[in-house]
Structure 1
Amino acid sequence: MMIDTEIDTNTFWKFPHCPTIDTQINWTKILTQFPFLQSLAKCEQNPTYHAEGNVWIHTQLVCEALVSLPDWQAMNATDRSILFAAALLHDIAKPLATQVAEDGSITAKGHVNLGARMVRQILQDLQTPFAIREAIVAIVQYGSLPIWFWDKTDPLRSIIKASQLVRCDWLALMAEADVRGRICNDRERLLDTIEFFREYCREHNCFDRPYPFASNLSRFIYFHKEAADPTYAAFDDTRLEVIMMCGLPGTGKDYWIAQNHPDLPVISLDRLRLEMGILPTDEQGKIVQAARDLAKAYLQSETSFIWNATNIVKPIRSGLIRLFAGYRARIRIVYLEVPIDRLLQQNHARQAQIPTPVIHRYRDRLEIPDLTEAHQIDYFVEV
C-alpha cells in the first residue's frame, strides 16, 4: 500500500503511557514495558553540559519539562504522543556510545545516529504507523538542530533540509524540553538560541511546514548543487526517468516491478549475480560495474529504466543518483517495507536467497530515503 509521509490529522495514535494534559507520567509502568531504559541510569554524562546526573535522570527531566510546556499541552493527542516518545527515547543510544577517557572526560559521539536507528526498530516492534514512526525518528535525529543550527556552514540549508523531514516547530519544542531538562551554565543562552531558531524558520516559511520549493525539480537541484538558491524555479530539461528500488531483501521489489512497470528494462543486481555466479557474500565489485555499464547505455540513449537493488544506505544511493542526474534523468525512488517476519518468509522463497543473519545486518544499517535525495519518493509499506 502506497502511503503519504504526512501525518493524517484524523489519525489517532497513542504512545504507551504517554500522559494526558491532566495526568502525571507513570514511570513505573514505562520501565515495566520498556526495561531497556534502566540502562540509562548506569550511564553518566559530562557534568559540564549535564550536571543533573545520569542519562535516566536527564530523560525524566526532559519528559517532565515537555509535558509542562503550553505548546505541548495545546497539541492533539497524537502529536503529544509523538513528542513524548521522542523525548523518552532521544538518548537511548548513550549507554552504547558513551566513553570515559583516562582523564575522566565523558563523550557520547555517534549516539544520535545510532539512537535514531534503535528508535526505528523499537517503534517497528510496536507496529507504529510509518509516518508517525519516521517523524519520531527524525525528531531524535535532528532534535538538537535548534541549538546548533547557527554554527552550521549554511544555517538556511540546515533548516530547509530538516523541514523536508519533520516539522521544525516540533524540533524547537523538543530542544526546549531538552535544555530545560538539564543543569548547565549556558541554559539561558541555549533557550535564546532556540527562540532565534523559531524566528528564523518562520522568516523562511518552514516553521510548521516543509519549505515550499517551486517544484520537485527545484528541490532536487537545491539539494544537489552547491550554493543553490532555494527560490529558484527550475526549467525541466530532464530527458528520461530512472526508478531506483529501495528495500531490504524479500520486500517484494521484483513483484512490484512486474505489477507496475513490466514494460521498462530492469537492471537487477540479483539477476546479474546469478548470471555471473557470484554469491551475495562474495565481493560485489564486478556486479556493480556491470550494472553501471548497462545503466550508462540506457542513459546515453535516453531510455527510462529501473535500477533494482537493495540501495539501503544513502552513500550508495547518492553515488548512483549523481550518475543518473548527470544524464538529465528524473530520479524516482520506490521504497518498500514489510514486517520483519513476512520479510524473512518472502526471502526464504526467493531464488537468490539472502542468509538470515545478513538480512538482520541490513536492517541495522537501513537508511530510509527522504525527499532531499530524489525528484520523487514513493513509500509502499505493509503492516
Structure 2
Amino acid sequence: MWTIGKEKSWEYLERTFEWVAIMKEVPQDARHHAEGNVAIHTRMVLDALIKEPTYAQLLPQQQEILWAAALLHDVEKATTTITVPDGSITSHGHARKGAMKARQLLYKEIDTPFSIRESVVSLVRYHGLPLWLFEKPDPVKAVVMASLEINMQWLALLARADVLGRVCADQAELLYRIDCFEEFCKEHHCWGVPFHFPSPAARMYYFSQQEGYTGYEPFKTAVAEVIMMSGLPGSGKDSYVRRHYKDKPVVSLDQLRTEMGIAATDKNGNGKVIQAAKEQAREMLRKQTGFVWNATNITRQMRMQLIELFMAYDASVKIIYIEVPYNKLHGQNKSRNEVVPAAVIDKLAGKLEVPALWEAHEVEYYA
C-alpha cells in the first residue's frame, strides 16, 4: 500500500521533507487562522481528518490518499503568502499552485502510482471548492467538472477537516457551507460519482459552451478524429504513434523543427513551427481527414487552444497521455534522435498539467 512517508509523526515529517519543515515559517491571517502558522494549522487538519467518522469508513489506501492531501493542501502558502497594505495576510492562488507542487513532489521525489498521485493533486487543487462554491460564476459547472477529477465525498471530507483544523469566528458558517455543498452535489448527481453525460459529444458541448446545460445532446456528428498526444519529451509518444497509428497522417512538431532547422530551445523559431503545424492541420481538417497531432501538449492552455481549432472544423478529439517514471524519463530522452537538454525536460516537468477527462471527447492514460 502506498503512503507518503514511513511515519506520520510531525517530527519525522519535518526531518524528511523540507516543504513540511518550512510550514512553521509561514504566517496566516489571525481572522481566519487564529491558531497560528501553516504548520500548526496542517497538524490540526490531520488530527481533525482522522477523527472524522467518514474517514474511518474509507479503505486503507483511500485514507492514505486523503491524509497525503491534507498534509499537502497548503504546501504552496510558502510561496503565495503576502501581507497587503491594510496588514492582512493572503495566499491567493495557493491551491492551484499547490496542486502543481504536489504533482512534482509525487512524481520526482516520492515514488507514487499515477492514479494515486493525480487523486492527491486534485484534492489539493479543489480543496477550497466546498467553501466557495456559491461564489463561482457557474456553481453547477464547477461541481460537474470537479467530479470528473475527484470524488466529491472525499473533497467534502478534506474541506471539513480544513475547517475543523483552525480557530476562527466563522467556523460554524464554513461547516454549513460544506453541508450545502454536499446537498448541491447530490442534487446534481455527482456526489461520490462522476457526473454522467449522455455522450462524449454532450460532455464536450457542455464544457465548451458558456450557456450549455448538462442534458443537451448535440445533433452534429464529428467528420474526423484528431488524436492529440500529450507527455513530456522522452515519455514514448513517438513510439506509441508508430505502433498504433502508422497508417494515419501525423503532424509532428519535432519533424517540422528538423525540416525547418529550428532548435527546440529557440522560442521565436518554435512559434513558426507551431504556425506551420496548424496550417498542416487546417489543410487536413478542410478535407475532413483525421490525423495525429504529435507534440508535448503538457499545459491545459495549449491543449485547449488546439482543441478549439480542431472542433471548429467539426472534428472529435482524443487525447492520449503517456508517462514514464521520472527516473526512466531522462534515459529514454537520451535515446531520441533529437535529444532535449535535461534542464529543459525538468523545466517542462514543472509545468506539467495532466489532461482531465473533461478536456476532450476521449482521454486515455498510459502511465
> TM-score, with normalisation over the residues of structure 1?
0.92
CA distance in 2, matches of 1:17, 1:76: 19
Correspondence for 1:21:
none
| Structure 1 residues 157 and 126: alpha-carbon distance in aligned structure 2, compared to 1, 3 A threshold | same
1:68 aligns with 2:54: no
Shift of 1:99: 1.6
CA distance in 1, matches of 2:96, 2:212: 27
- SS of alignment partner, residue 165 of structure 1: coil
Secondary structure of the equivalent of 2:321? strand
Match of 2:325 among 339, 343, 350: 339
Q: Does residue 1:13 correspond to 2:2, yes or no?
A: yes
Q: How does 1:71-90 map to 2 (within 5 A)?
A: 71-90=54-73
Any stretches of 5+ residues in structure 2 without a counterpart?
A: none
**Is 112-121 or 163-172 further displaced after alignment?**
112-121
Which moves more between the two structures, 192-201 or 93-102?
Answer: 93-102
Q: Which of 171, 176, 181 does residue 197 from structure 1 map onto?
A: 181
CA distance in 2, matches of 1:293, 1:233: 31
Q: Which amino acid aligns with 2:363?
A: I
Alpha-carbon separation, structure 1, partners of 2:85 and 2:144: 40
Partner of 1:348: 334
Q: Which amino acid aligns with 1:359?
A: I
Number of aligned positions between the proteins: 364
Alpha-carbon distance, 1:34 to partner: 2.3
- Once the two structures are superposed, what CA deviation does each residue of 1:66-94 show, in whole Å capped at 9, x if it has no partner? 00000001111011111110001111111
Instruction: Give TM-score, length-normalised by structure 2.
Output: 0.96
What is the CA deviation profile of residues 99-128 of structure 1, one whole-angstrom value per residue up to 9, with x for unaligned ones? Answer: 224553222122212211111122223221
Residue-by-residue CA offset, 1:25-45 (whole Å, 9 max, x unaligned): 522233333243110001101
Equivalent-residue separation in structure 2 for 1:35 and 1:288 (angstroms): 39
Residue aligned with 2:68, SS: helix
Q: Is the 8 Å Cα contact of residues 40 and 95 (structure 1) preserved in structure 2? A: yes
Matched, 1:247 2:236: no
CA contact (8 A) 1:17 1:30 kept: no
Paired with 1:73 and 1:217, the residues of 2 have a C-alpha distance of: 39
For 1:255, give the aligned amino acid: S
Which residue of structure 2 lines up, in the alignment, with residue 8 of structure 1? none
Alignment RMSD: 1.3
Q: Is the 8 A contact 2:131 2:174 kept in 1?
A: yes
Could you tell me which amino acid in structure 2 is paired with residue 13 of structure 1?
W
Unaligned runs of 5+ in 1: 1-11, 19-24
Shift of 1:233: 2.8
Counterparts of 2:21 and 2:271 in 1: how far apart (Å)?
44
Q: Tell me how far apart the structure 1 counterparts of residues 299 and 63 of structure 2 sit (CA, whole Å).
A: 31
Spell out the pairing of 1:225-264 with structure 2 (5 A cutoff).
Answer: 225-235=209-219, 237-264=221-248
Residue 14 of structure 2: aligned partner = 31
Counterpart selection for 1:329 from 286, 296, 315:
315
Corresponding position: 1:270 with 2:259: no
* Secondary structure of the corresponding residue to residue 295 of structure 1: helix
Q: In the alignment, which residue of structure 1 is the partner of 2:27?
A: 44
| 8 Å contact kept, 2:103–2:121 | yes
Query: Is the partner of 1:280 in helix, strand or coil?
Result: coil
Counterpart of 2:155?
A: 171
Between the aligned partners of 1:45 and 1:202, the Cα distance in structure 2 is 33
- String of CA shifts for 1:266-295, please: whole Å, max 9, x gaps: 000000001001111211111111111100
Letter in 2 for 1:70: P
Q: CA deviation at 1:236?
A: 5.2
Corresponding residue for 1:380? 366
Q: Judge conservation of contact 1:93–1:114 (CA < 8 Å) in 2.
A: yes
Q: Does 1:137 align with 2:121?
A: yes
2:225 alignment partner, SS class: strand
TM alignment of 1:91-170, pairs within 5 A: 91-124=74-107, 125-170=109-154
Q: Which has the higher helix share?
A: 2
Quick one: which of 133, 149, 172 aligns to 1:188?
Answer: 172
Tell me how far apart the structure 2 counterparts of residues 163 and 17 of structure 1 sit (CA, whole Å): 31
- Give CA deviations for 1:234-286 in whole Å, capped at 9, x if unaligned: 34510110000101111111100001110001000000001001111211111
Amino acid at match of 2:295: A
The corresponding residue for 1:5 is none
SS at match of 2:229: strand
Aligned letter for 1:220? Answer: M
8 Å contact from structure 1 (residues 215, 234) kept in 2: no
